[in-house]
Amino acid sequence: MMKSTVEEQDVLHPKDALNQRYPRKRAIYLAGLAQHLASSPAFGTMRYSCLHGNRIRPLLSLTPPGKHSSSFILRLHPCPPPGFFKPSRFHPQRSNIRTDWYTGLESSRPDTSEPPTPHYNSSILGDMLPRAHLQFLTAVSSQCTAFVEGVALLKVWLRQRELDQGAGCFSGFLGSMLLAYLLSSHRVSNTMTAYQLLRNSLHFLASTDLTENGITLAKDPDSTAPSLAEFHSAFQLVFVDTSGHLKQVRCTDMTGCIYKQVQYEATSDHVFQLCELVKLQSCCKKLDLLSELMDHSGNYVLTALPFILSLLQRGLGQRVRLLTHSLTPDPEWSVEKQAASVLERGPPADSPKAEEFKQLWGSRSELRRFQDGAINEAVVWEGERPPVKRDWSHARSSHTCCSSKQIYQKPV
């Protein structure tokens, strides 16, 4: 798997960091890029995914066509050009999401009293610094011949334990930066073998509590960079990058419980699964977690997770040695434009829902055989008229008494 960054300078404005304008423009830019690449014979399948479960940081995954489709995956990561945003704007104690914008309700509070948004701020900073991080890792690698192999061993160790997957994971990139920190701080030697680098990395993880005493790669940060204490006030785990402004973005959502799992490499004797996670929305409301929900861009699972873990830890007390959690894998979805499709695929012909589909679409519904061999009900739309408007017009005229003059379509 390879990752590549794509700069998006022409579509950005310096104030786009406010109220999620930047991540929304980033997503639109990525969709336009996907549409442009779709016509190229150089690529096979294209899918969207989220960077370690972060919904406001989508990626575009590309594979080669034909028999080489499984040989590698290229992930495109849009980012602003270097220096486009001021790093000081993303201090962990600053707010970049306004309450009245998020809730849709007018608020009388001044901007200075808005709740800080450290997670949102870090997600944007993470897009600003990949080039600097790559240059740093390249420089470290040139000084230690076993660095690349040592990182590979550390990544294998993480993958075998499934610690590098999902939101808040201990990613391979974070492992690379950790080993680079050990080398740059002379905690390990440049002459060590790859196996020795791995052993010393694991020893450091087991003996160092980054939830209490954070570490930093910044040698000489500028005066606007946050202190380690300010990072600790906003995040459970603190590992600051070379710029001094960014807590390593891969551990922004990492909980202390996951870090304990990395430390002790424990095997859980009891596994409990939370069902109907949608109910955590009401949990956020009951606990008055609006500020945290804004900071996590509406992700109510990540918002409520620290409270749930804290509650379990207090309840279980000394009866449990390690409490950890596992979130669902990062989602991926097809690049195909579902809303603009001229073919609406319905349920299988022998499905109980087939009759309901035919009642909804009436004479427009017909049986069709698809490329995968399935025979389904389907609706085919002709012409260039926007499909969403066609769907709405047909359903409205068939099942309501409303005429087109009684419906106002609000432009977007």
Q: What is the pTM of this model?
A: 0.63
Q: What is the pLDDT of residues 328-360, one digit of tens each?
A: 766 677 776 554 556 778 888 888 888 888 888
User: How does strand 375-380 pair with strand 343-348?
Assistant: antiparallel
Distance from C-alpha of 248 to C-alpha of 133, rounded to nearest angstrom:
10
Of 86-90, 152-156, 244-248, 281-285, the one with minimum mean pLDDT is 244-248
The pairing of strands 2-7 and 239-240 is: unpaired
Q: Which residue has the higher pLDDT, 410 or 26?
A: 26
Strand partners, 376: 348, 368
Per residue in 134-182, pLDDT (tens digit) is 899 999 999 999 999 999 999 988 888 888 877 778 888 888 999 999 9
- Map out the domains of the chain as residue ranges: 2-105+112-258, 337-406
Q: Which two tokens stand for residue 99?
A: 């309450």
Which residues, listed in sequence order, are joined to residue 50 by a DSSP beta bridge? Answer: 58
Within a 10 A sphere around the Cβ of 122, how many other Cβ atoms?
25
Residue 36, CA distances (Å) to 335, 342, 405 in order? 11, 19, 37
